[in-house]
A and B are shown apart, each in its own frame.
Chain A
Amino acid sequence: MRYSLVVHVCGVLVRLFGGMFLAPLSVALYYREYHDARGFAVAAFMTLAVGQLMRRAGGTSAEEAVERMRRVEGLAVVSASWLLIAHLAAVPYVWVGVGPIDALFESMSGLTTTGATVFRDFSAFGRGIFFWRSMTQWLGGMGVIALFVAVLPRLAIGGRELFFAEAPGPSEEKVSPQIRRTAALLWRLYAGLTLLLVVALWLAGLSLYDAVCHAMTTLAAGGFSPHPLSIGGYQNPAVEWIIIVFMFIAGANFALQYRALAKRDLNILAADEELRAYTAIVLVAAALLVLALGVGEGVVPTVRTALFQVLSILTTTGYASVDFQLWSEQAKMVLLVLMFIGGCAGSAAGGPKVVRHIVLARFTLQSLRRTLHPRAVLPVKLGGRVVPEPILQVVVVFFLFYLLVFSICAGIVVALGADIVTGLTATIASLGNIGPGFNQVGPMAHYGDLHPVSRVTLTLAMWIGRLEVLTVLVVLRPEVWRSGQWSAEGRHAARESLVGSPPAGA
């Protein structure tokens, strides 16, 4: 791994991120929150400065750097820039008086579309800050780096490594052979859907500000709401129905939706195994929830609440239309299971993803059949095609590491004083980028009372979960660092790193 290249590309990305502060800055100015506006200006300046410095320090010309990027360098760039950007996005929170650990938690929770909050008192913050909170989710939903790949021609070639390091589904899925165009088309679809939702929510009775904030956090499957009681605070069934539909969209594969839209062919959607499984999970879970809740408050409201909460948890959005902390244990159990499933690959949702569950389930079934027929040829298939052995292994390894990270983090959180339900659900809600858990971290509560070390741990869990575990863990391997060198010119450590794969585009 060549550090100069990593530093340089990170610098390029960070500098671009500096421009993003302009949006909350204008919102703050519009609402005459001049103190907050200064905070955004400072954050923007710091980000630009850090980016510029890193760019310079990296030295190599950008074209050269990005063209020769290897997979491990792509992973390192994505992991490092996400961490850096989270720090810089936290600056405005620190400016308005949030402690540094909480500011980073809130910022990471935003960028990773988790939606967990440490804010105790919502009235303490201005509209600019809440807008920024929602906007970090919107940027993180489709992927900050995907956005940069789309707008930055220089990232076009090495962008491939970056793009798939940020959105590492079990299979690489593109809507165009060109990665830059893929990123651009997906972002355009995402932005278009967001606009549609803004209009829909506005017509349903939300103020324009609330509509924009909720549209951004819905499409991103994020879950931040400027309202302290989340969606439940509006008491507006129409808003809930609209958000139900858009949460479903946000949790489904965007590339698939784009293809169906471009070809005007709904069969593409109907034929997709993951989408079918996803839909089935939503319907079954909602039915179970209706059974567990009973229809005492009328059939339609119960069905709406059940659908809303199922989608909110399954797509890892994390909104609450009611305080589900008050539900029966059976009903909460349904939600807990959903937390371990997640949305579709290639969506804004987090979690282990439906497709990985499908692959794992088939792999398990085939292994069982193999005991009956030792000489049978039993490939695992997805959509009629055989899943190659290496991908199968990665899926299994993903689940193992997911559980490993989950148990370590949960262990830390519980050891530091949380009760078991709080510890387990806070961890899965962070690792799966969901947001609310149960008990102490329930939908109407916050993470602010957890031990500071727990909060840092959960911040890291969000980061690891958003980049789907392996991206981060690969970069943490010692051999990546041992074989590292400052730049390509340094010949003393010219050995390839063990995880290094052929150059990008090969």
Chain B
Amino acid sequence: MRIVIVGGGQIGSSLARALAATHEVVVIDHAPHVADVFQSMDVEFLPGSGTSEEVLSRAGVQDCEFFVAATGLDEVNIVACALANRLGRPQTICLVSRAEFLDSSGEGGGLRAFGIDRVVWPEAQLASDIERIVTAPGAIDAEVFAGGIVRLLEYRLEAGSPLTATILGSLHLPRGSLIVAVKRGGRIFVPRGTTQLQAGDKVIVMGTPEAMHAVEALVHPGRAGGRLQVTIIGGGDVGFQLAEKLEQAPSLDLRVLESDPDRGAWLAAKLRRTLVLNGDGTDLEFLESENVGRSDVLVSVIDNDERNLLASLLGRQLGVPKVITRVGRNANLRLFERVGIDVAISARGAAVVSILHQITGGTTSLLAVVEHGEARVFELVVAPSFESRQLKDMGTSEDAIVAAILRGNRAVVPRGDDRINAGDRIVVFCTQAAADRVRQYFTRESS
């Protein structure tokens, strides 16, 4: 299908890269130097303005299915979507950078009048992603799928973790949970019963919510019931929204460090029970005087990569066990994690994932992208022509695993003797490289 993207910035290019292989993608941007980025991709680049009808017509908006407006200017995005909607009938997705375009439920209510189907505010997306990770003790990534009946948690194993005691086959993990992947030394793979986990490994566990509670208790004992102290450095859009969301969990003690006094006063007025501290998150003396080292989680969401990194590393030095950092430039994501930050996460990345969810819908839908795109989680409906068979007959693979079978509103975490039938809804975990192969195997679609 045809997808038109206006704006070739980070979000536009990430989207184009992810979609190029399977869809016709046209990118519109008025800056010619942006074109270089798209040279290496199998997409069409049109120089011009996204608010020009003529350019939009040339891009084939009339018969495209998705239209994404991802320039840096909110008003341009809105006008582009409105125009596209007049020229054809695409699903329009509009990126915004300010809260005023969203109504109280976080939807772009008022913008529907312009024919905009979905409003994406990357900062809000990021805030809700961080919220999930903060509230899962010990975990460095957390996702919820299929309306809450399947959860995913990612852990970094410490020395002495109960999971490193013996080979996987004799670990006796809680029923209904499954270790779907291990990341060791830059390589991600699906483990077997004979795999021995080691300290330093990252493991991804999936399962039903009840089982995942048991997993949390197993991997991170002693934390249950205690109060969790969360320190947020930076009270901008993300910091504020994160604090607002986290305030709803009663067992969290929240603090926001904000260097601008006026913004601090605004935050203190808006937030109910968060302690707002007026000071610089990169000031070691200040961090020490406020005992930031005693926090259970440190979230650094300043709008500046260098300062974020500094604040996070200071926090780590002071002994915070879990550090989550916002990254502006996607290229820095892996670097940040390599220097000791547990979770590096970007607003744009969060927005891209959310848009990809919507575009690659149909019988297969992308539920999550984990480890910065190295692995994916799909939900798919098994094709009618699929021959029913037991899992153990499918053979084991290093790069894909069926994580759950969805039956009604219950998830079954399968074992070797469970059957996959035609028409089943299943949740599959696979590496990036195996994604297309897995999809084809179950759905028998060519693309």
In this assembly, does B286 line the interface, its C-beta being within 8 Å of a C-beta of chain A? Answer: yes
Determine the distance from Cα of A384 to Cα of B279 in the docked complex, in whole angstroms.
24
Chain B residues whose CB sits within 8 angstroms of the CB of A385 once the complex forms:
269
Interface 1/0 per residue, B261-282 and A, CB below 8 Å: 1001101110010011111000
Chain B CB count within 10 A is highest, among A369, A373, A386, for A373
In this assembly, does A205 line the interface, its C-beta being within 8 Å of a C-beta of chain B? Answer: no
Distance of A391 from chain B, by nearest CB (Å): 14
Determine the distance from Cα of A63 to Cα of B261 in the docked complex, in whole angstroms.
47
Chain B residues whose CB sits within 8 angstroms of the CB of A378 once the complex forms:
268, 276
The reply to whether A379 and B268 form a contact with Cβ atoms under 8 Å apart is yes
Closest to B258 in A: A377
Closest to A385 in B: B269
Chain B CB count within 10 A is highest, among A369, A375, A385, for A375
Chain A residues whose CB sits within 8 angstroms of the CB of B272 once the complex forms:
384
In this assembly, does B290 line the interface, its C-beta being within 8 Å of a C-beta of chain A? Answer: yes
The reply to whether B286 and A377 form a contact with Cβ atoms under 8 Å apart is no
The reply to whether A377 and B290 form a contact with Cβ atoms under 8 Å apart is no
The reply to whether A376 and B277 form a contact with Cβ atoms under 8 Å apart is yes
B264-311 residues with Cβ-Cβ distance < 8 A to A are: 264-265, 267-269, 272, 275-279, 286, 289-290
The reply to whether B277 and A373 form a contact with Cβ atoms under 8 Å apart is yes
Determine the distance from Cα of A384 to Cα of B275 in the docked complex, in whole angstroms.
15
Chain A residues whose CB sits within 8 angstroms of the CB of B268 once the complex forms:
377-379, 386
A346-384 residues with Cβ-Cβ distance < 8 A to B are: 369, 373-379, 381, 384
Distance of A259 from chain B, by nearest CB (Å): 22
Chain A residues whose CB sits within 8 angstroms of the CB of B290 once the complex forms:
373, 375
Distance of B251 from chain A, by nearest CB (Å): 20
Determine the distance from Cα of A373 to Cα of B276 in the docked complex, in whole angstroms.
10
Number of interface residues of B (CB under 8 A): 16
The reply to whether A373 and B286 form a contact with Cβ atoms under 8 Å apart is no
B350-373 residues with Cβ-Cβ distance < 8 A to A are: none
Interface 1/0 per residue, B245-268 and A, CB below 8 Å: 000000000000010010011011
Number of interface residues of A (CB under 8 A): 12
A-B contact count (CB 8 A): 33
Interface 1/0 per residue, B194-211 and A, CB below 8 Å: 000000000000000000
The reply to whether B265 and A379 form a contact with Cβ atoms under 8 Å apart is yes
Determine the distance from Cα of A319 to Cα of B444 in the docked complex, in whole angstroms.
87
Closest to A384 in B: B272
Partner among A369, A376, A379 whose Cβ is within 8 Å of the Cβ of B269:
A379
The reply to whether B269 and A373 form a contact with Cβ atoms under 8 Å apart is no
Distance of B17 from chain A, by nearest CB (Å): 43
Chain A residues whose CB sits within 8 angstroms of the CB of B279 once the complex forms:
375
Chain A residues whose CB sits within 8 angstroms of the CB of B289 once the complex forms:
374
Determine the distance from Cα of A369 to Cα of B290 in the docked complex, in whole angstroms.
12
> Given contacts A373-B290, A377-B264, is CB(A386)–CB(B269) below 8 Å?
yes
Determine the distance from Cα of A385 to Cα of B268 in the docked complex, in whole angstroms.
10
Partner among A375, A377, A384 whose Cβ is within 8 Å of the Cβ of B267:
A377
The reply to whether A375 and B265 form a contact with Cβ atoms under 8 Å apart is no
Chain B residues whose CB sits within 8 angstroms of the CB of A369 once the complex forms:
275
Chain B residues whose CB sits within 8 angstroms of the CB of A377 once the complex forms:
258, 261, 264-265, 267-268, 276-278
Determine the distance from Cα of A381 to Cα of B276 in the docked complex, in whole angstroms.
14
Chain A residues whose CB sits within 8 angstroms of the CB of B267 once the complex forms:
377
The reply to whether B275 and A375 form a contact with Cβ atoms under 8 Å apart is no
Chain A residues whose CB sits within 8 angstroms of the CB of B278 once the complex forms:
375-377
Determine the distance from Cα of A381 to Cα of B267 in the docked complex, in whole angstroms.
13
The reply to whether B277 and A375 form a contact with Cβ atoms under 8 Å apart is yes
Interface 1/0 per residue, A381-406 and B, CB below 8 Å: 10011100000000000000000000
Distance of A374 from chain B, by nearest CB (Å): 8
Determine the distance from Cα of A385 to Cα of B275 in the docked complex, in whole angstroms.
16
Chain B residues whose CB sits within 8 angstroms of the CB of A384 once the complex forms:
272
Chain B CB count within 10 A is highest, among A375, A377, A381, A385, for A377
Determine the distance from Cα of A112 to Cα of B268 in the docked complex, in whole angstroms.
40
Distance of B289 from chain A, by nearest CB (Å): 8
Closest to A376 in B: B277
Distance of A375 from chain B, by nearest CB (Å): 5
The reply to whether B275 and A373 form a contact with Cβ atoms under 8 Å apart is yes
Closest to B264 in A: A377
The reply to whether B286 and A375 form a contact with Cβ atoms under 8 Å apart is yes
A187-238 residues with Cβ-Cβ distance < 8 A to B are: none
Chain B residues whose CB sits within 8 angstroms of the CB of A381 once the complex forms:
269
Interface 1/0 per residue, A243-265 and B, CB below 8 Å: 00000000000000000000000
Determine the distance from Cα of A235 to Cα of B391 in the docked complex, in whole angstroms.
85
The reply to whether A376 and B286 form a contact with Cβ atoms under 8 Å apart is no
Chain A CB count within 10 A is highest, among B267, B268, B289, for B268
Distance of B229 from chain A, by nearest CB (Å): 13
Chain A residues whose CB sits within 8 angstroms of the CB of B286 once the complex forms:
375
Distance of B144 from chain A, by nearest CB (Å): 30
Determine the distance from Cα of A369 to Cα of B278 in the docked complex, in whole angstroms.
14
Determine the distance from Cα of A378 to Cα of B261 in the docked complex, in whole angstroms.
12
Closest to B286 in A: A375
Determine the distance from Cα of A385 to Cα of B279 in the docked complex, in whole angstroms.
23
Chain B residues whose CB sits within 8 angstroms of the CB of A386 once the complex forms:
268-269
Chain B residues whose CB sits within 8 angstroms of the CB of A375 once the complex forms:
277-279, 286, 290
Chain A residues whose CB sits within 8 angstroms of the CB of B277 once the complex forms:
373, 375-377
Chain B residues whose CB sits within 8 angstroms of the CB of A373 once the complex forms:
275, 277, 290
Chain A residues whose CB sits within 8 angstroms of the CB of B276 once the complex forms:
376-378
Determine the distance from Cα of A373 to Cα of B267 in the docked complex, in whole angstroms.
16
Determine the distance from Cα of A369 to Cα of B268 in the docked complex, in whole angstroms.
14
Closest to B276 in A: A377
Chain A residues whose CB sits within 8 angstroms of the CB of B269 once the complex forms:
379, 381, 385-386
Chain A residues whose CB sits within 8 angstroms of the CB of B258 once the complex forms:
377
Distance of A360 from chain B, by nearest CB (Å): 19
Distance of B191 from chain A, by nearest CB (Å): 46
Chain A residues whose CB sits within 8 angstroms of the CB of B261 once the complex forms:
377
Chain A residues whose CB sits within 8 angstroms of the CB of B264 once the complex forms:
377
CB-defined A-B contacts under 8 Å, sample of 25 = A369-B275, A373-B277, A373-B290, A375-B277, A375-B278, A375-B279, A375-B286, A376-B275, A376-B276, A376-B277, A377-B258, A377-B261, A377-B264, A377-B265, A377-B267, A377-B268, A377-B276, A378-B268, A378-B276, A379-B265, A379-B268, A381-B269, A384-B272, A386-B268, A386-B269
Given known contacts A373-B275, A375-B277, A377-B268, what 11 new A-B pairs fall within 8 Å (CB)? Answer: A373-B277, A375-B286, A376-B276, A377-B276, A377-B277, A377-B278, A378-B268, A379-B269, A385-B269, A386-B268, A386-B269
Q: What 3 pairs across the A-B complex have the smallest Cβ distances? A: A377-B268, A377-B276, A377-B264
